[in-house]
Amino acid sequence: MRLEIFPVEGVPEVRQGDDLAALLVAACPDLADGDVLVVTQKVVSKAEGAMRRIDPDDPRGHRSIVEEEAVRVVRRRGDLVIAETRHGFVCANAGVDLSNVDDGWAALLPEDSDRSARRIRDGIRARAGVEVAVIISDTFGRPWRRGLTDVAIGCAGIRAVVDLRGTEDSRGRELQVTEVCVVDELAGAAELVMGKAGGIAAAVVRGVDPAWLGRGEVRAEVVRAPAEDLFR
Amino acid sequence: MRLEIFPVEGVPEVRQGDDLAALLVAACPDLADGDVLVVTQKVVSKAEGAMRRIDPDDPRGHRSIVEEEAVRVVRRRGDLVIAETRHGFVCANAGVDLSNVDDGWAALLPEDSDRSARRIRDGIRARAGVEVAVIISDTFGRPWRRGLTDVAIGCAGIRAVVDLRGTEDSRGRELQVTEVCVVDELAGAAELVMGKAGGIAAAVVRGVDPAWLGRGEVRAEVVRAPAEDLFR
């Protein structure tokens, strides 16, 4: 297996109501069956209008929006809030983000990023006739380790977690727990070619194992049910 | 920026005392300056003899070794132990692993994976005359999200965390916090071409931003000091 990863350049500034699939197909005309297209959350939120105006009369500014988006505050230190969103994601500021958006506005997470991914995938199939997998990515921190990494908040056309349990290791013994979150690894890999300042909206990962393609969902496969999570 | 990722195939079974750099150069003769070579923890532990025999008379088996390797148990549920190691990593079974090792043996984490990475990098320079970056990877779980991902436990020749703070976003405003842990994203990307059952020891990521290359260390850059960690 050999992977190629390259950025999708030339996507114009995205505005509410834009047809993101059409913009991505125009910017990347050589999309091929089996490609994984990783799309950043920011452009999905903009296209879907998941934006909020920051009330200029509210002395708390965007922090009021953070409190509204949080269903549970996990940790708080000074201005930094780590919160769980209604989607079950645990991230800084409940996913509310001011970078690369117009002054006075905040970007929220898409309402349902798996659905957003399915829409983009369907739109690309309709416009370009190719079957791609789509991952919506966002930049999250994590406990115990410094530095942010991109993870998947939604996907379509690819299994989020590939279960290698029950396959044999190189000694012929059964592997015990090897459920790999391939969509998080793909989101992080795509981030490596996007950069933060360039405003690159998407990247293509070409060459992924065809066995991973198929029905998949971050919400059902990656978000931990509270009962099984050692950390809530 | 365009990345290529491919596995290093044909590394023979690694035993204590083996010259890992020589084995990797032999298996991947086209290594080039600027390549990032991601090497799995298992072969590093084997080459360095970071293995322990499981006492056959100990009814607790390998779990006794887990307790010895743990400096702090973070969570425990049944047989599952999430523990902090002396290196500051928080992971299942304190990094003690039975898969792909001989029966009756357990693999431990390398004593100092940054040093291991430096040794491999120096060995490759000496044998093949190329300047590569090296990342030692391992498979960790994480809170809140199902599925494992590969992360970096050591590195050499590449900055672990790339600080994009102070660069401008596409609107000319200063980005606030964008410290990206590129070595974790590279470790995860490499995992995508390795698979768990195949016994692939390493993968090459070609095409990374040359600005990231240079002095780097997981211990100093990625492991959070207890005082700054919201989760201890």
Query: Chain B: nearest CA to A124, how far in angstroms?
Result: 23
Of B161, B188, B224, Cβ closest to residue A188: B188
Of B6, B148, B160, Cβ closest to residue A181: B148
In this predicted structure, what is the pLDDT of residue A45? Answer: 98
d(CA A148, CA A137) in angstroms, rounded, equals 12
Distances (CA, A) of A176 to B45, B53, B191: 20, 20, 18
Of A193, A231, A232, Cβ closest to residue B1: A193
Right CATH number for A4-50+110-224 from 3.30.1330.100, 3.40.50.620, 1.10.3470.10, 3.40.50.150? 3.30.1330.100
What's the whole-number mean pLDDT along residues B63-79? 91
What's the whole-number mean pLDDT along residues A45-64? 95
Residue A229 has pLDDT above 70, yes or no: yes
Residue A75 has pLDDT above 80, yes or no: yes
Residue A70 has pLDDT above 70, yes or no: yes
In this predicted structure, what is the pLDDT of residue A4? Answer: 98
What's the whole-number mean pLDDT along residues A197-217? 92
Residue predicted with more confidence, B164 or B124: B124
Chain A residues within 8 A of B99 when measuring between CB atoms: 169, 173, 175-176, 178
The mean pLDDT of chain A is 92
φ, ψ (nearest 5 deg) of residue A16: -55, 135
In this predicted structure, what is the pLDDT of residue A171? Answer: 66
In this predicted structure, what is the pLDDT of residue B159? Answer: 98
Chain B residues within 8 A of A93 when measuring between CB atoms: none
B82-88: which pairs have CB atoms within 8 A and are 24 or more residues apart?
A: B82/A230, B82/B141, B85/B109, B87/B112, B87/B113, B87/B153, B87/B219, B87/B223, B88/A144, B88/B219, B88/B223, B88/B224
For the domain made up of B51-109, the CATH class stated in words is alpha beta
Right CATH number for B4-48+111-226 from 3.60.10.10, 3.30.1330.100, 3.40.50.300, 3.60.21.10? 3.30.1330.100
What's the whole-number mean pLDDT along residues B104-124? 97
- pTM: predicted TM-score of the whole model, two decimal places: 0.95
Domain ranges, ordered by start, for chain A: 4-50+110-224, 51-109
**Amino acid at residue number B149:** T
- Token match 């200063």: residue? B174
In this predicted structure, what is the pLDDT of residue A170? Answer: 65
